Structure formats: structure tokens, C-alpha cells
Amino acid sequence: MPAVFTPQTPARVSASVVEVSRAGQPPFEVVYERRGSGEPMLLLHGIGHHWQAWEPVLTVLAGSYDVIALDLPGFGASPGLPDGISYGLESVVPLLAEICTELGIERPHVVGNSLGGLLALEMGLHGYARSVTALSPAGFFTRPERLYAFTVLRGMRAGARALPDPVLGVLARTAVGRAALTSTIYARPGRRSADAVVAETRALRQATGFAPVLAQGQRPGALFEADVPGIPVTIGWGDRDRLLLRRQGVRAKRAIPGARLVRLRGCGHVPMNDDPATVSRVIADTARRAPAPPLCA
């Protein structure tokens, strides 16, 4: 009789919680993973994902940086924002800066993927980042491209919510099943472990921030049309991205003329899994281009 596969959620033994309190508003909590030492580096995942999306590159980056990977509000293990607090960029970007303050860091190198890439660029624009690496960032789509991407995302979410855990476990056990579950965002889904696929499918299913973030993404202000002067910026785009098509990288380069545009060969929308070595190198190269922070008196 074949062995029964029991999905295991990855341990969170080192994950921590930071509470942010704002005058006149209820406090909220954000879950994060922190590793390494050196200059601070903040990692921001995409819509429906969680901090574990960065696991393939965390160990390498933590060898040189104080790396903090967040579960954004309403995603992963972080609860949603309190009533009355918007998921719009004009609200979330200052919240991220306040989270950094609570964690004792100032102007980190900010790295983001998809939604996180857009947030990283906004942090750079408003002076909250020392450098920015944006991997397939949102905010550079045309209206038809946005409709396509949001339709795909809603379909992924509906599929995750409809899939019973026993069936999810069976699918995640096979390469074909992992491809069916994750090939929209990974070019090499077979590299994901069964446990990782189970955990990220559950994260997509349970994300309380999914609908409000997607709603904010349909506003005109969700497009990124500004330059980000004065800091190193790299735009990385997988040449096998099936969600945000790679031609959007050209638009990003036009909007941010000083940015470096890097094609990530053989990578999908979430490239950290497809080619961890290249993604780690691109991130580190960008961070090294930033001026060293001033020494404390």
C-alpha cells in the first residue's frame, strides 16, 4: 500500500512579530523573518504569497546583510489591516517605513517581487530605501495587460480556495501536480518542494488582503510613472514571466531612465525559485552600488 503523504507547514520557529502603533489608529502586527548581519535589507513578496517566497535566496543574502523578509499585512501569517486603514500605496508605503523604524533600521536596501516590487519602487521614490531591486514589479501594465493579470490571479485564488487539503497534498507530491499548481508563477515548478507548494497554496487561499489589494490595483494611482533618482535601481524581469509580460520591463526602464534592466533568463514571475544564484547576485550587485551609510558619531 503506498505511503500516505501528509503535508507539513514549514516551521516558523525563528519568525517574529512586530507591532506598529499609530496615533489615533488601532495597532497592527506584521510577521517577519530576520537573518544575518550587516546593512539592512527588506524583502517584500507579491500578492497572495508569503515571506517564504524568498527562502531560496535568504541564506545567501544573509551572509552579507541583515535581511528582513515580511509577511505583508493581510498575507501569510500577518493579519489584515484594521478597519479604516487603506491597502493603497499612499497608506501602505508609510506603514512599511514605520515597520522599519520599529525594527530599528533606517533606509534599508529594498527588494520586492510583483506587488512587492511596486512597493519597493515607491519606498525608493519617497526616500525610504537605500537601493531598490524590483523583480517583475506591478505598475507598468496597460489596461488589457492588467485585466489579463488580475483575471489569472483571481483564477489562481479561486482554485486554491476550492482545492481540499487532501487533494492539495496529493498534487504537491508529484512534479506534474506542482506544475499544475504553480507554473503560472514559476518557470521551473519542479524545483519547489511539496511542503513549499502546500504552504504557498494555503497562503493564497487564506490571504485576507487579496481582494482589497487587487481592488486598489485597479485605481489609476496603482501605475508607477515617476523616476527614482539618487539611488541605485535595478528592474529584473524573467523572460518566461507568464503573469506580467516581459515587455513591461521596457516600460519600467523608460519611466526610470537611470535604472538597470536585467533579463532573468529561464525565470518566471517569481524568479527567486527558478534561479536563486542569479537573483541573489543581481540583488547584491544593486546593493553594492549604493553609497555606504554614514558612520554614527
Q: Is residue 99 part of a domain?
A: yes
| pLDDT given for residue 9 in this prediction | 34
| pLDDT given for residue 13 in this prediction | 37
Looking up residue 246, the CATH number of its domain turns out to be: 3.40.50.1820
Q: How many domains does the chain have?
A: 1
Q: Is residue 2 part of a domain?
A: no
In angstroms, the first-to-last Cα distance of the chain is 68
DSSP assignment string, 3-70 = PPP---PPP-TT-EEEEEEETTEEEEEEEEEEE--SEEEEEE--TT--GGGGHHHHHHHHTTEEEEEE
Q: Is residue 11 part of a domain?
A: no
| pLDDT given for residue 295 in this prediction | 58
Q: Is residue 1 part of a domain?
A: no
Q: Give 10-residue mean pLDDT values along the chain (297 residues).
A: 32 69 84 97 98 97 98 97 92 95 96 98 98 98 96 97 96 95 95 95 97 92 90 98 96 96 98 98 97 65
| pLDDT given for residue 4 in this prediction | 31
Q: Is residue 8 part of a domain?
A: no
| pLDDT given for residue 297 in this prediction | 42
| pLDDT given for residue 181 in this prediction | 95
Domain residues for the domain of 93 are 16-288
Q: Is residue 274 part of a domain?
A: yes
Q: Is residue 76 part of a domain?
A: yes
Q: Is residue 141 part of a domain?
A: yes
| pLDDT given for residue 194 in this prediction | 96
